A and B are shown apart, each in its own frame.
Chain A
Amino acid sequence: MNMPGIVGSGVYLPYYRIKLSDIAEAWNRNIKIAGEKTVPAPDETPLTMGRNAADNAISHAGIPSEDIGAVYFCSNSSMIEGSYAQDIAIAIGTKPSVTIADLHGSPRSFTIAVQMCLDAINSKRIEYGLVVGADILVGGLGTSAGDAGSEYVSAAGAGAIILGNKEIIAEFEAIASYMTGIKERWRSFEDKFPRLGDGRFIRDKGYINHVIQAGKSLLSKINCEISEINHVILQQPHAQWVRRALGKLGIPRDQIKARLAAPGIHINKFGDLGAACLPVALTEVLEKGQPGEKILTISYGAGGSDAISWNIKDPVNTKRSQAVSIEKFLKHKEYVNYTTHLKYNKVISQFV
């Protein structure tokens, strides 16, 4: 049986950036911190970014948008009631019979939506499915640079992938999930910023435990060593967490630096993109990856992880010319200061 897979992917990242050292300076923190993160423009929303990423994915896939039978929108920061998936479906021009769903509350929603799409394709209910991940994450003011969910990591962006059975650039291989129900991060209706559990506890018992359990379970399922995986992509809530998880997955210490600089690890360039992290990372990898290489993606959120393995296929090279390169979003950027970052994230507004 032909396995379904990714037929196209696309990203959208904001033009504005802030240097992490500028955030530290605003709070008089005497720390040396490298890196930067994206800042959404005031007229960017998860919907607008998600739609732009979806357009780029469709152009990369080279398929008619009427053939897309399912649109899933994944986000931590979209509307609580009301659907962005339906707006994207209308915008790209699907048929009215399309299945739509908005998945909220966790970056893991992206890999859940991927599974929903793969199931629908395998059952021949749909030909192609579009999964969009888009987030504008805003960290609590004055939070520590060492914490996930802080101002230093919370960023904005969108990514989209199209799954199908024809002209596949990355074939789905296997999936393994792991869930304990740990509550590491939450936000109620009244909360402006996410609330986080105890730093090191949620890092070790939450993120790292789940990522490792799901990852190792998948590796044993496909009978593979971590050294045989060409591209390891993890959920990226914090650079130090990713570094630690790569080590625990079995990557030798002398190779971790290279893995952190490889395509697909973007926490120091873009920040924590939430539900957009994995589709953006997959797009980065598929821009450089070659047929025969293997990709491991591991999501994390809301006390659970999904690990998915993919095999890159031949059309990856021929379809490259149809893609809007991620280089476009790396090359064109403008730095803003801390106050503008707050204004653009709608944390402060003009008195009227």
Chain B
Amino acid sequence: MSTPPLYRDIAQNLKFEGLKCKSCGYVAYPEYHRICLKCGAIDQWEKVKLSRTGTVHTYIVSYYLPPEFETPLPLAIVDLDPPGGRIYAISTETKHEDMKVGLRVEVDFREIYHKDGLSVPSFKFKPLRE
């Protein structure tokens, strides 16, 4: 397990924060770009806490994955509720037959993988439970 990428990704893996463009309101997650992808403003970012709920924009179902994953496993692009942002995430506790575009989901903190005895957690989505 290599430490530098783990260290670099701490904020991305542990905090659910994005960068909001002060010029146009576009929310970037997880990558940091100097230039806003939407309006081209340079270095006009402020940190913003992302919403833990959202809506499935589109999805796929993966059937062939390493044994630590339970398949079939839905993966989706989720549009987060305001202040916005879009994430690409693995699902958890989600049946593939329940997946649909427009499904309301919530974001949960889960283990993504473990290697050399170290568990690396980050964010997954699951159907919204209220």
Which A residues form the contact surface with B (CB < 8 A)? 15-16, 41-45, 47-48, 51-52, 55, 82, 87, 90-91, 93, 328, 331-332, 334, 349-350, 352
Query: 10 closest Cβ contacts across the A-B interface?
Result: A91-B14, A43-B110, A332-B129, A43-B111, A350-B67, A48-B109, A51-B109, A90-B14, A48-B121, A15-B93
A64 to chain B minimum Cβ distance, whole angstroms, is: 11
Closest to A344 in B: B70
A352-B67 in contact (CB<8A): yes
CA distance A47 to B121 in the complex (A): 8
> Can you show 23 pairs from A to B with CB atoms below 8 A apart?
A41-B92, A41-B93, A42-B68, A43-B110, A43-B124, A44-B110, A44-B111, A45-B119, A47-B121, A51-B109, A52-B108, A55-B109, A82-B118, A87-B121, A90-B10, A90-B11, A90-B14, A90-B15, A328-B129, A328-B130, A331-B129, A332-B129, A352-B67
Interface size of B by Cβ–Cβ distance < 8 Å? 21
Which B residues form the contact surface with A (CB < 8 A)? 10-11, 14-15, 67-68, 70, 92-93, 108-112, 118-119, 121, 124, 126, 129-130
A339 to chain B minimum Cβ distance, whole angstroms, is: 13
CA distance A349 to B68 in the complex (A): 9
CA distance A166 to B10 in the complex (A): 31
CA distance A90 to B109 in the complex (A): 14
CA distance A352 to B65 in the complex (A): 13
Given contacts A45-B121, A90-B10, 13 further A-B contacts (CB under 8 A): A41-B93, A43-B112, A47-B121, A48-B109, A48-B110, A51-B109, A51-B121, A52-B109, A55-B109, A328-B129, A331-B129, A350-B67, A352-B67
